[in-house]
Structure 1
Amino acid sequence: MRNIKFTASIIICLLIFVSGIALGSINVPFNEVISIISHKIFNTELLPSIISNHVSIVWNLRLPRTILAFIVGGALAISGTVMQSVLKNPLASSYTLGVSSGASLGAALVIVTGFRIPLLGLFTLPSIGLLCGLFTVFIAVKFAAKMDKNLENNTIILVGMVFSLFVNALLTLVTALSDEHLQQLTYWQMGSFSLKDWSSVLVLFPIVLVGAIVIRSYSREMDIMTFGEEQAFTMGVDVYRLKWLLLGLSAALTGSAVSFVGVIGFIDLIAPHVVRKIFGSSHRIVIPMSMIFGGSFMIICDLIARTIISPSELPVGAVTALVGAPFFAYVYFSKRKEL
């Protein structure tokens, strides 16, 4: 039964992926999309019906944008899966530890000051965003460890929420004091894949791939931790070190994604819940399937964002919030009923 679900998920994911490339203000037939991609990769003959404009739209605009949307959605989904598992809280996400807030503040400072690192150039913004996201979670967990030597999950969550509120306040202050960058900062804080090209894909893909592989290698330890930290410790799992490592990797994934495309919420909350409902709780399956589901869901949200008021475009973060906010309420109140 699991193999059937897995196969169906892959097929649906591929259909969504091709749809993300084919549909838009100018629709490109599915067979032309396949032909163009095959021509560019394998140097096959193009279909006679394909016009040059469609080749440019598919290869230079929509394909890198769709791939980037899948990578970002997958990164956020894996991050959410890990945080919910490690902190044993169904509402845990990148925002819980202030990762998104830290990355946003770092990126906002780069936008306002125009700061550039000579060797990185245009990638200064994502690099600073990543470092600030990691720095925020490092400070939050370090502070939580000072308050609670056992590093209890509730302590981490509470400290993370406090840090997130504080950093968001600083971000609001920066935005309010930067009139000339107000529109850019506001739009960036709602997330967008607009004007993204192959360079973003080539930089973000290896980061997410390596992070996902390393996190999945700890699937067994995360499965053990679900039975309780004391039992995990007796079974030889270094819970304290593993928490640091997994939270750091999750922060790196979220910080990377956020710093490239802006703040996009709720993917990291929705994807793990849906995947666990369908495939169970084994992290060996949940982690890759969360990436597939999160990436596919992000493509759908981006497709809606750029077609619903075409030729104009909505921030994709607004679309994910419209779906995610009711889902957040559903999870919260359903858990309260169980109590």
Structure 2
Amino acid sequence: MKTRIKVILSIIICIIVIMMGIGLGSIYVPGSHIINIIAGKIFGLPLNPDVKEVSVSIVWNLRLPRTILAFLVGGALAVSGTVMQSVLKNPLASSYTLGVSSGASLGAAFVIVTGFSIPFLGPFTLPAVGLTFGLVTVFSAVKFASKMDKNLENNTIILVGMVFSLFVNAILTLLTSMAKEHLEQLTFWQMGSFALKDWSNALILLPIVLVGIIVIESYSKELDIMTFGEEQAFTMGVDVQKVKWILLGLSAALTGSAISFVGVIGFIDLIAPHVVRKIFGSSHKTVIPMSMLFGGAFMVLCDLTARTIISPSELPVGAITALVGAPFFAYIYFSKRKEL
């Protein structure tokens, strides 16, 4: 099957999944009503007589922003994982390996426990502080790795990142143990959830994700070259260390931005790159946008499952991604090893 046909089919499937995320729930909203409601809100078109006001409120105020946010978060995590695995040439590499989730969790815990608030940010203090802590952790790890190894070898980056991640997690554990009254809130945040999210969250994350992915896409040629090895890339004119810094920073920013709004959600960044490469090949010009689509659609499905499987209660979406992702990733990883 030609790549163009695969891309078209992927887009169609993605649209279907998004419509499911918006339409399914305790109250079912037909696809035609969803389109009519969205067209009415954006273009001012009249609503059909059979579209109820409660459906308009559910779609526009609750499910649509939540679904868009889930899609953006999943896409950001998937692209981040794709870049990390390519740059570090390790199928288990991700921004989490370098301490993004640990740093963001520590920042979020600091805000939750102390009640710290930045006046002009208000309710967005937590995601802002979480993102800052996550980025500081990653850049500290990479900077320390560059001091230890001037060539900035991939194994050095991964090992230093894991050490930093463990150290930050230890601080987080101590903080949690000393603030038991916030234990439930801290635990729930670390499992991830899209509950109570509105348009403000989606609209803030949208430009961050789009700009990040567009910039990463502009480095698709360098990513393709670096897959052949750093020495070959250097001889072909690629400034390997500079490109590594830029791509690692962009990937960390995507992951940090995503999890700072919704909490820690794992496995998307590990699964998506493997599935997309198996379907579309290894060209990053195609792999990066398709990872965005696959990761976004997968996250929407996981969120749909989390809020409907035991309705009216809701499960943390991180638990769903782990239940689905862990065995799926194990199958892909070990089947690849058998092929070798």
TM-score (norm 2): 0.98
CA offsets, 1:8-53, max 9 Å, x none? 0000000000110000111111111111111111111212111111
Tell me the residue number matched to 1:74: 75
Q: C-alpha separation between the residues in 1 aligned to 2:145 and 2:284?
A: 26
Query: Matches of residues 191-230 of structure 1 in structure 2 within 5 Å?
Result: 191-230=192-231
Q: C-alpha separation between the residues in 2 aligned to 1:266 and 1:51?
A: 38
State the 1:107 CA deviation: 1.0
Tell me the residue number matched to 1:107: 108
Tell me the residue number matched to 1:317: 318
Letter in structure 1 aligned against 2:130: G
Letter in structure 2 aligned against 1:267: I
Aligned residue pairs: how many? 339
Partner SS for 1:236? coil
CA offsets, 1:65-91, max 9 Å, x none? 000000000000010000000000011
Q: C-alpha separation between the residues in 1 aligned to 2:8 and 2:183?
A: 46
Q: C-alpha separation between the residues in 2 aligned to 1:41 and 1:109?
A: 39
Mean Cα displacement is larger for which, 28-37 or 288-297?
28-37
TM-score (norm 1): 0.98
Letter in structure 2 aligned against 1:257: A
Letter in structure 1 aligned against 2:330: A
Check whether the contact 1:39–1:46 (CA below 8 A) recurs between aligned residues. Answer: yes
Tell me the residue number matched to 2:9: 8
Tell me the residue number matched to 2:154: 153
State the 1:336 CA deviation: 4.2
Partner SS for 2:311? coil
Q: C-alpha separation between the residues in 1 aligned to 2:335 and 2:113?
A: 42
Check whether the contact 1:82–1:250 (CA below 8 A) recurs between aligned residues. Answer: yes
Letter in structure 1 aligned against 2:96: Y
Structure 1 residue 277 and structure 2 residue 278: aligned? yes
Mean Cα displacement is larger for which, 147-156 or 255-264?
147-156
CA offsets, 1:252-300, max 9 Å, x none? 0000001100000000011111110000110110000100000000000
State the 1:327 CA deviation: 2.7
State the 1:331 CA deviation: 4.0
Tell me the residue number matched to 1:118: 119
Letter in structure 2 aligned against 1:25: S
Partner SS for 2:191? coil
CA offsets, 1:192-251, max 9 Å, x none? 000000000111111111101100000000100001100100111000011011000000
Check whether the contact 1:91–1:328 (CA below 8 A) recurs between aligned residues. Answer: no
Mean Cα displacement is larger for which, 186-195 or 173-182?
173-182
Query: Matches of residues 139-288 of structure 1 in structure 2 within 5 Å?
Result: 139-288=140-289
Partner SS for 1:189? helix
Query: Matches of residues 49-68 of structure 1 in structure 2 within 5 Å?
Result: 49-68=50-69
- Percent of aligned pairs with the same residue? 78
Check whether the contact 1:99–1:133 (CA below 8 A) recurs between aligned residues. Answer: yes
Unaligned runs of 5+ in 2: none
CA RMSD of aligned residues (A): 1.1
Letter in structure 2 aligned against 1:36: I
Unaligned runs of 5+ in 1: none
Check whether the contact 1:191–1:261 (CA below 8 A) recurs between aligned residues. Answer: yes
Query: Matches of residues 5-44 of structure 1 in structure 2 within 5 Å?
Result: 5-44=6-45
